[in-house]
Structure 1
């Protein structure tokens, strides 16, 4: 029986980063299992028209692997996917990947001190270490609306877009106004005959300062990487300021948060002259309760005569259209579900994980509280690192999260290797201290000190805890990942 050094679940940027770090530590007998047909995670799955990164591409990339070839500041999704392919090839990760492979569950074998990872179809992989890199936005949500299964037209989810699909001449209904919808709606408005957007919760949208990088600038970045790092420093600083000051330190810097909301308000006023339409698109919660959203076309799309905003709740879907609570029916040909992802029910965790003494991770989180030491480790789960955990997400760039977690893996597994040890497990005391600190720090954030009641934000779990984001600066996360007390783990 082959025993792998590590099984990594997921071949997105998190899994690729974890694999790079494992190989740096000398672990080469690893396997990355991915349920999709190719690498890239969300950037392989999301291919809807207009998909692009929602923060500057200079910041949305590994610090150790800058990309001089971005076509513009906010790069389109296809370029992000190509960047993932480049990194996987350059660091020799692709040969470790197994695609079209779904993981059903993983269980710790206490006698053998190994993880048994069960795959769909009955195969079982065995490994010393288990790393889950399933991402935060990996389980798409379909709305539970009466009659949706009987709709006679085309139904398409933004996270399962059909390549080549065109809506020219169609009457399109779009359900949802989250981050994906903000990118998708203007694209649909430019092509479809009629577009009706069904909004449950309006979203704060601010202008996007976006521009193309001329070939001369790209050549400069390639020849002088420090020039690109300088641009990254600026974009990092801007978005870290937005996160730390406007969101995490809301109690002490409420004026900045109000200023951001005012910017969105001014932008709505400039873009939309219709007072009633503007009112419907105005959120009743503080800026930052949902992830900040940028677009130069979203608000203006609603001013077009063939684009309609519907704020009445959907009562049911009939074979040829949608009926709202006021009894009105809109006939549509295509139903687009921009309803996002199921984080708390289906993603924490994304597969069944059973640790020491039979502790089931999903059940434990729900019976107690969502918690993870430094956003990666849980007691009773030896040799397990979960990269998509409570309090893991740091800053607005997923790469902030990936890179501090890579440092944590480096320090932890480097020490395991130095000692010639077999297992590691975070102590209950260290985990409790970290959870208490995160809870105290959350009191200063917009999530608890502000007004988020009407936001319906995925940052909150069903208990009302904002347990997704780590309420510290990225710098703090990086420092602690590089210097956490090794005594916080039992290494044996």
Structure 2
């Protein structure tokens, strides 16, 4: 049976598009990009909730090789990220490779044929020499298992499936969750709902968002002299690296920086909330960085509004007309918004079933052993497979840092395949083990292991108690290793 595609890329978000761009640069033009949604853009297509915006400066949250000089704000709204994704797909001729509404059920490696067989719901199986999964870190929505939720008689909206036709004006709304999404959403809902109750399980660190419109003169400067935008990107990335990445991943070395960031957040809270009891409820009791820090100028202040109530008592059950807490109090509502995030460790790693050599099931193997991937992209027993949203792959705070370092890894690996006239690769057990041990050792310096994170309930931690998402190195190290990793780390044939 002849192989149908050079490569199948699962996911048409920025990660999948970055991988496809790199493969095309390397001469692999027979691609299939399979996307379960009805359009490209990943999270920036799926999410449309009020207040959606990047929380990393737009000059950094974008491809370095495809700068956009026309961002309207320092932190662009979500609609502009979707527009940018469309632009990238068109410029790099990616749409013709994309199939939308293609729900991938799984993929298996056929040893005798040396190719991947990919199962797509309702369609014939397809084959490819290479398989790349770019399904994102936050792609599997979490619906809370709260007693009675299915009996609620009002409107239920998950933030990943926002109903634009539903009018919140005059409603009695409850929001469950106070994570990064909720920080953006709550101020917007508070402006519309007659009454809003926010159910908080864990408070979150919030720092000011230095967001301003980008004047048209600056946009023109970026367009005419691209070097100026590259400088702006370097400055933004450097600040993120110094304050956020260092304070989290190098906690032991720069503990004062971490404590300073927490102190700044507390000072910001004091400036917006005068009520000491409310401030106490909104103040985390875990170290800064145990959960992803968030940025907002209006989140804290929203809880001082008369129509907004913060509820920190645990939910017992949901009734047909409201939410009942464990102390027996019922809050009557007609609208329930679930800002409950995503399920990473049970269903997202990987987001589809992947079966490698000798029948090894990647998801089961990760959960029975440890979550691991060499340089955050490849796994032993899975030939010709790259997992782009994987353990120890997220570098820095901008996802584009991760994407572009992985693109460079692809360039080096596939360049060596071409040089040797080979078409099969698999990372060695030895290289994978050395990388895992090094990442584990590096994490000992992080706030995750050196700080106090017990009460954070952070999605950074998996069921083994390991913080296995972030790559615990500098961003520079991620790029250096992507360009120079030892080629003997792979068995190539």
Give TM class, smaller chain.
over 0.9
* Counterpart position of 1:483: 484
Find the aligned partners of 1:242 and 1:109 in 2 and give their Cα distance.
47
Does 1:340 pair with 2:346?
A: no
Match of 1:132 in 2: 133
TM-score, structure 2 normalization:
0.99
The match for 2:247 is 246
The answer to whether the 8 Å contact 2:3/2:129 transfers is: no
Cα displacement string for residues 6-49 of structure 1 (whole angstroms, at most 9, x for unaligned residues): 00000000000000000000000001000000000000011000
Shift of 1:122: 4.3
Match runs of 1:192-231 below 5 Å: 192-231=193-232
Q: Map residues 271-286 of structure 1 onto 2, 5 A cutoff.
A: 271-286=272-287
Q: Which whole-Å CA distance do the structure 1 matches of 2:344 and 2:128 have between them?
A: 27
Cα distance in 2 between the residues matched to 1:249 and 1:166:
45
User: Separation in 2 of the partners of 1:336 and 1:425?
Assistant: 44
In 2, Cα distance between equivalents of 1:446 and 1:346: 26
Determine the structure 2 residue equivalent to 1:44. 45
The answer for unaligned runs of 5 or more in structure 1 is none
Q: In the aligned structure 2, how far is the partner of 1:491 from the partner of 1:128?
A: 14
Aligned residue in 2 for 1:402? 403
Secondary structure in 2 matching 1:385: strand
Q: Which secondary structure does the structure 2 equivalent of 1:72 belong to?
A: coil
Q: Which residue of 2 aligns with 1:315?
A: 316
Deviations along 1:325-345, one digit per CA (max 9) or x if unpaired, are 010000001000000000111
Q: CA deviation at 1:114?
A: 0.4
SS state of the match for residue 126, structure 2?
A: strand
1:462: how far off?
A: 1.0
Q: Is residue 470 from structure 1 mapped to residue 471 from structure 2 by the alignment? A: yes
RMSD: 0.7
Q: Deviations over 1:410-433 (max 9, x none)?
A: 100111112111200000000000
Find out whether 1:179 has 2:173 as its counterpart: no
**Secondary structure in 1 matching 2:9:** strand
**Partners in 2 of 1:358 and 1:240 — Cα distance?**
41
Query: Counterpart in 2 of 1:392?
Result: 393
Structure 2 distance, partners of 1:409, 1:245, is 27
Partner of 2:266: 265
CA contact (8 A) 2:177 2:340 kept: yes
- Secondary structure at the residue paired with 2:87? helix
TM-score (normalizing by structure 1): 0.99
Q: Give 1:24's aligned residue.
A: 25
Once the two structures are superposed, residues 224-264 of structure 1 have per-residue CA deviations (whole angstroms, 9 ceiling, x without a partner) of 11111111111000001123320111001100100000011
Instruction: Give, in whole Å, the separation in 2 of the partners of 1:51 and 1:87.
Output: 20
Would you identify which runs of 4 or more consecutive aligned residues in structure 1 move more than 4 Å? none
Shift of the alpha carbon at 1:2?
A: 5.2
Deviations 1:96-138 (A, max 9, x none): 0000110000000000000000011142110000000000000
- State which drifts further: 324-333 or 120-129: 120-129
Secondary structure (helix, strand or coil) at the match of 2:323 reads strand
Aligned counterparts of 2:237 and 2:293: Cα–Cα separation in 1: 15
1:329 aligns with 2:336: no
Give the match's secondary structure for 1:251: coil
Q: Is the counterpart of residue 190 in structure 1 residue 208 in structure 2? A: no
Q: Distance in 1 between matches of 2:192 and 2:245?
A: 39
Using the TM superposition, give the Cα deviation of residue 168 of structure 1 relative to its aligned residue in structure 2, in angstroms.
0.2
Corresponding residue SS for 1:285: coil
Which residue in the other structure is 2:372 paired with? 371
